[in-house]
Structure 1
Amino acid sequence: METTEMQIEERNKLYRLAFGLAVFTIVYNILEGIISTYFGYDDESLALFGFGVDSFIEAISGLGIAHMIIRIKQQPNSNRDDFERTALKITGLSFFILTIGLVATSVYNILSNHKPNATFWGVIISIISIVIMWALIIGKTKVGKKLKSEAILADAQCTKVCVYMSIILLISSGIHELFHFSYIDSFGTLGIAYFAFKEGKECFEKARSNKHCSCENENN
């Protein structure tokens, strides 16, 4: 009986940790969004501005993840509920709108030979984001494995998309900062738009089914 109580307490601790990681992800994305959109607008860097808008959308997605953790804690084998499906649809639509806006503006910037005033903050923010997101991936993966939760493991894998976007921002901002190549900011924006489109598509796929993530097969 004592062992069972200890196991239950350990399980509850792990779910509290998973929920804490989800809340941290939401708060971080909101702060990242505010800072990125501010400096992106101020420096006229579309890649950084788009990255910031994406962060706000990721925060909306995070609300669904936090709700999911509460659900699977109460009912581990339950399916996605209406709240999560609605959050996914809103997130997916937001990603599609962002994609259209980024592609249209980046094409305009290329045709008009527009270039950002500076991309220093794009370099700094992307490096911080890569470090934070990898730490979250490691933390979520450990918790997911201990709980044997495919949903939490899938969320950890899907967080890698944020890392990919950060790498694109780092490369485009770094190249511009070093070589002042006028088109690189727009090319970086198109890269971010590509991943935003993929995320939007995946959100609608998940809203129509009970799959966790298209990358879930990568879990070990």
Structure 2
Amino acid sequence: MLLTTDRRVLLTRRIRWFVTATIAYNVVEAVVALAAGASASSAALIGFGLDSVIEVASAAAVAWQFAGPDHERRERVALRIIAGSFFALAAYVTVESGRALLGADRAEHSTVGLVLAAVSLAVMPLLSAAQRRAGRELGSASAVADSKQTLLCTYLSAVLLAGLAVNSLLGWWWADPIAALAIAAVAVREGRDAWRGDTCCAGGCDDGLANV
């Protein structure tokens, strides 16, 4: 379906707003997570905070793309930046998970971390879904890829929440690094898709999480 000029302008404006909201939230999330992680010696919280930094980089790439009058010409560069952020996240999570499994830096209880993970688990899916819909309708692969980065943050929030809760309640310190390795595998797949430009745009896939 061809979009009218007014509709394209509206969708572009929406994507800019979603990207701005994502950047603002992730800056706060990164500061809180890194501070709480350092206080509790939690590799999971520190990793979550660094993921937030990567989220900001990904969203900033889309913001840069849509800041120009012809955002389609900047699409490929934005996609490469997003892909790189996925690969960096996967590498970091893999290394930190390996260190955790070897017994390094076992985390203490963190109330702040539990609350942060729960809030992110509620907020991130909403931002991701809204940006994904707008990106698909506009046909912007980078906007869809960035929405997947935001959704990946949702998965990490769930992993972090489960890991911190299980560690606090049962002392199962190994649960978080095992789940984090699965997240790293997802990050590699999404990074590969972003690099290729295969991000399910323009109605090419459903809105369900099974395709993300």
- Does the TM-score normalized on the shorter chain lie above 0.5? yes
**What amino acid does structure 2 have at the position aligned with 1:154?**
V
TM-score (structure 2 length as normaliser): 0.75
- 1:201–1:122 distance in 2 versus 1, CA, 3 Å: farther
Q: Report what 1:16 is aligned to.
A: 13
Check the 8 A contact 2:58/2:146 in 1, yes or no: no
Q: 1:154 aligned to 144, 148, 153, which one?
A: 144
Q: Report what 1:116 is aligned to.
A: 107
Check the 8 A contact 2:145/2:194 in 1, yes or no: no
1:59 paired to 2:56:
yes
**What amino acid does structure 2 have at the position aligned with 1:172?**
G
Q: 1:128 aligned to 105, 109, 119, which one?
A: 119
Q: Deviations over 1:42-89 (max 9, x none)?
A: 211111111111111111110222234445xx55xx7452xx434443
Return the alpha-carbon distance in structure 1 between the equivalents of residues 153 and 189 of structure 2: 12
Return the alpha-carbon distance in structure 2 between the equivalents of residues 94 and 142 of structure 1: 22
Q: Deviations over 1:174-200 (max 9, x none)?
A: 111221222233334434433333343
- 1:177–1:68 distance in 2 versus 1, CA, 3 Å: same
**What amino acid does structure 1 have at the position aligned with 2:140?**
A
Unpaired segments of 5 or more residues in structure 1? 1-6
Q: Deviations over 1:140-188 (max 9, x none)?
A: 356457xx32327735852322212211111111111221222233334
Runs of 4+ in 1 over 6 A off after TM superposition: none
Give the greater-gyration-radius structure (CA): 1
Q: How far 1:136 moved relative to its partner?
A: 1.1
- 1:213–1:27 distance in 2 versus 1, CA, 3 Å: farther
**What amino acid does structure 2 have at the position aligned with 1:128?**
V
Check the 8 A contact 2:144/2:199 in 1, yes or no: yes
Check the 8 A contact 1:114/1:183 in 2, yes or no: no
Q: Aligned residues, how many?
A: 202
Q: Report what 1:4 is aligned to.
A: none
1:218 paired to 2:206:
yes
TM-score (structure 1 length as normaliser): 0.73
Q: How far 1:13 moved relative to its partner?
A: 4.3
Return the alpha-carbon distance in structure 2 between the equivalents of residues 80 and 219 of structure 1: 26
Return the alpha-carbon distance in structure 2 between the equivalents of residues 191 and 44 of structure 1: 22
What are the residue-to-residue correspondences of 1:25-44 with 2, within 5 Å?
Answer: 25-44=22-41
Return the alpha-carbon distance in structure 1 between the equivalents of residues 79 and 10 of structure 2: 27
